[in-house]
Amino acid sequence: MQRFVKIFTHGCQMNDLDSRKLYSELAGHGYQPTEDDRLADVMIVNTCSVRQKAQEKALSTLGRLCILKRGRPGLVIAVAGCVAQQEGEELAERFPEVDIILGTHQLHRLKDLVADVRSRRQLRVETAFGDAIPSMDIVPDKDFLIPPHRAYINIMQGCDNYCTYCIVPLVRGREISRDHGAILSEVRLHAERGVKEVFLLGQNVNSYAGGMTFPELLKEIHAVEGIERLRFTTSHPKDVSPALIECFALLPKLCSHLHLPFQAGSDRVLKAMNRNYTHDSYLRLIEDLRRARPDMAFSADVMVGFPGEGEQDFRLTLDLIEAVRFDVLYSFKYSPRPGTAAAALVDDVALPEKRARLSVLQSLQRRITLENNKARLGKIVEVLVDGPSPRHDHQVFGRTTHNVIVNFAGPSSLIGSTVAVKVTRANQNSLTGELT
Ligand code: SF4
C-alpha cells in the first residue's frame, strides 16, 4: 500500500536541506511526498528556534496537526529541528499526540523510528548529541533538488562562537565538520546528475575543518567539471581569512555575492553580543573583498533593540548600512532566546522603539536596494534560469552571480541553462530584462 509523508519546514536553508534529506530517507522506505494533509500518513514539523516568531509559527503548525490527529489516530506526527532539540520530552507534555521528537544530530534515525512507532505506538525521543552527525552524509535524491540544477550541500554543523543572543550552539551543538572526501564525492555525484550550482551550507562555514581548510575545499570543488557556480553561507566576519578573500580573486566560478551578517554597527553592542569584530574592521573586510572582486554584492543579517542599544548605537548601524550598500538585509527585532547569555540581560528597548528603529532601517535599505538595482540598468548579466515566472506567462526567472532575481520573456526550455540578459527595468526586489 502506498504511504505518504508531508513535511512542514520552518526556518533557514539548513532546515530546508534537512527536510529534503528526510523526504529522501522516507522515499527509500515507500513514502511519497504529498502536499495534501488528508493523504499524509506521516507528518513532520521541522522547526526553527532562532527567533521567537519562527518558533511560534512552528508550534502553531504542530498544534494544528495534533488537532487533526484526534480524528485520525493512525497518523504519525514527528517534530524535528531546533525546537525538538531544545524542548525534548517537554514537547510531548504540551502536545501529547506527538509520536517522535527528533534532535538535530538524529535525523538519520527517522525511518527506523517511524517503523517502530507504527508497530508499537510509543513516544520516541531522540535528542542526544554525538561526535559525528551521520545525516550530513545523506544525499537528497535528485527528485528533491529544487530547482534540479542547484544542490545545497552540508559541510559542517553547529557553532562554537556563542554570540550572546544566539540559540544555535545550544540546539545544533558544537562545530562538527564533514569529511572533505564525502563532500567532494557528493559534489561529483551532483555534477554527473546535471547540477550546475553548488551551495555549501553550515552555521559557520569559514571555520570548516574536515581535513582541509575552507579555502582549500572551495578550490577542490571549483575544479569539479560541470559545476559552473559556487556559493556558500553562513560566514562569520571574524573568520573571513586572507586566503578566503583571495579565493574571490582566483576562482571565477565563485559567485560575486557574500552573505556576511554584521548584526549591529556599534562596537559597544557588538562587544555585548560577543561578535569579536568592530564597525571599522567589518568595513575594512568589505573593502578587502571588493578589492579582490570589485563587483562584489553583499547581503547580511542585522537586528535592532539588543539590550542596551541606544539611539547613538542605532545610528552607527544605519551608518554601516549606508557605507556597505547591501543588496539585501534580513532585519529583525531582538527577542531573547531562553538559555542564551543575553536572555539574562534586561530587554530594555521597548517594543514600540524596536518597531520604530526597524521601520527606519528597512526604509533606508529599500532605498539602497532600489538604487543598486537601478545601477544595473542597461547591463548584460549572466542568468542561471531557475523556472517559469510565478507571476507572468511566457516568462522565466533566474539569478545573477550577485544573487539578484531577473525575470524575462523566454521559453521554459531555458531552465537550467545560463543565458545573457540585458537589464531593462529595475524593480524593488528584482530586475526585468530581455534575452540578448
Ligand atoms: S556565529 Fe552565528 S550561529 Fe554561531 S552563535 Fe553566532 S549567530 Fe549563532
Same domain, 368 and 387: no
- Measure CA of the first residue to CA of the last residue in the chain; give whole Å: 51
Q: How many CB atoms lie within 10 A of CB 345?
A: 15
Q: Which of 161, 171, 208, 270 to mutate to test the pocket of ligand 1 (most atoms within 8 A of CB)?
A: 161
How does pLDDT run across 249-305, given as a tens digit for each residue?
999 999 999 999 999 999 999 999 999 999 999 999 999 999 999 999 999 999 999
At 290, the amino acid letter reads R
Same domain, 121 and 148: no
Same domain, 186 and 318: yes
Per-residue pLDDT at 327 exceeds 90: yes
How many A from CA of 166 to the centre of ligand 1? 6
360 CB-side CA count, 13 A: 17
Instruction: Write down the pLDDT at residue 47.
Output: 94
Asked whether 60 and 37 are in contact (CB, 8 A), the reply is no
Same domain, 341 and 386: no
Average pLDDT over residues 77-83: 96
Per-residue pLDDT at 145 exceeds 90: no
Per-residue pLDDT at 162 exceeds 90: yes
Cα(377)–Cα(425) distance, integer angstroms: 6
Instruction: Write down the pLDDT at residue 50.
Output: 87
Same domain, 358 and 294: yes
Q: Which long-range contacts link 114-119 to residues 24+ away (Cβ below 8 Å)? A: 114/26, 114/29, 114/42, 114/76, 114/78, 115/29, 117/76, 118/76
Asked whether 417 and 374 are in contact (CB, 8 A), the reply is no
Confidence bin at 390 (pLDDT 50/70/90): confident
Same domain, 30 and 149: no
Average pLDDT over residues 319-323: 98
Q: Which of 162, 167, 176, 203 to mutate to test the pocket of ligand 1 (most atoms within 8 A of CB)?
A: 203
Instruction: Write down the pLDDT at residue 52.
Output: 86
How does pLDDT run across 230-251, given as a tens digit for each residue?
999 999 999 999 999 999 999 9
Q: Residue of the nearest CA to atom 8 in ligand 1?
A: 166
- Which atom number of ligand 1 is nearest to the Cα of residue 275? 6
How does pLDDT run across 8-58, given as a tens digit for each residue?
999 888 999 999 999 999 999 999 999 999 999 999 999 998 888 889 999
Cell reading at 224: 569539479
Instruction: Write down the pLDDT at residue 198.
Output: 98
Q: Which of 12, 14, 159, 270 to mutate to test the pocket of ligand 1 (most atoms within 8 A of CB)?
A: 159
Reported residue count of the chain is: 436
Cα(208)–Cα(175) distance, integer angstroms: 8
- Which atom number of ligand 1 is nearest to the Cα of residue 160? 4
Cα(87)–Cα(133) distance, integer angstroms: 20
Percent of the chain with pLDDT strictly greater than 70 = 100
Cα(268)–Cα(115) distance, integer angstroms: 52
- Which atom number of ligand 1 is nearest to the Cα of residue 50? 8
Residue in 241, 149, 156 with CA at minimum distance from that of residue 201: 156
Same domain, 268 and 355: yes
Our count of domains for the chain comes to 3
Average pLDDT over residues 309-335: 98
Residue in 238, 233, 234 with CA at minimum distance from that of residue 270: 238
Asked whether 151 and 199 are in contact (CB, 8 A), the reply is yes
Prediction pTM value: 0.95
Residue ending a domain, among 126, 143, 163, is 126
Per-residue pLDDT at 121 exceeds 90: no
Q: Residue of the nearest CA to atom 2 in ligand 1?
A: 203
Per-residue pLDDT at 427 exceeds 90: yes
Same domain, 342 and 363: yes
Environment class of 368 (CB within 10 Å of its CB; exposed 0-12, middle 13-18, buried 19+):
middle
Residue in 269, 295, 314, 291 with CA at minimum distance from that of residue 381: 295
Asked whether 225 and 253 are in contact (CB, 8 A), the reply is no
Residue ending a domain, among 77, 102, 126, is 126
Percent of the chain with pLDDT strictly greater than 90 = 93
Whichever domain contains 412, its CATH number is 2.40.50
Look at the alpha carbons of 343, 348, 350, 355 in this order and tell me if their dihedral is positive or negative: negative
Residue 226 CA to chain centroid, in angstroms? 24
Residue 107 CA to chain centroid, in angstroms? 18
Whichever domain contains 99, its CATH number is 3.40.50.12160
Residue ending a domain, among 335, 352, 374, is 374
Cα(299)–Cα(207) distance, integer angstroms: 20
Average pLDDT over residues 324-351: 97
Same domain, 166 and 308: yes
Same domain, 293 and 223: yes
How many A from CA of 407 to the centre of ligand 1? 34
Same domain, 99 and 33: yes
Same domain, 366 and 387: no
Cα(302)–Cα(331) distance, integer angstroms: 5
Within 6 A (CB) of ligand 1 lie 159, 161-163, 166, 168-169, 203-204, 236
Whichever domain contains 262, its CATH number is 3.80.30.20
- Which atom number of ligand 1 is nearest to the Cα of residue 274? 6
Instruction: Write down the pLDDT at residue 263.
Output: 98
Instruction: Write down the pLDDT at residue 328.
Output: 98
Average pLDDT over residues 318-346: 97
As a whole number, the mean pLDDT across the chain is 96
Average pLDDT over residues 135-144: 91
Per-residue pLDDT at 64 exceeds 90: yes
Asked whether 321 and 363 are in contact (CB, 8 A), the reply is no
Range of the domain at 244: 134-374
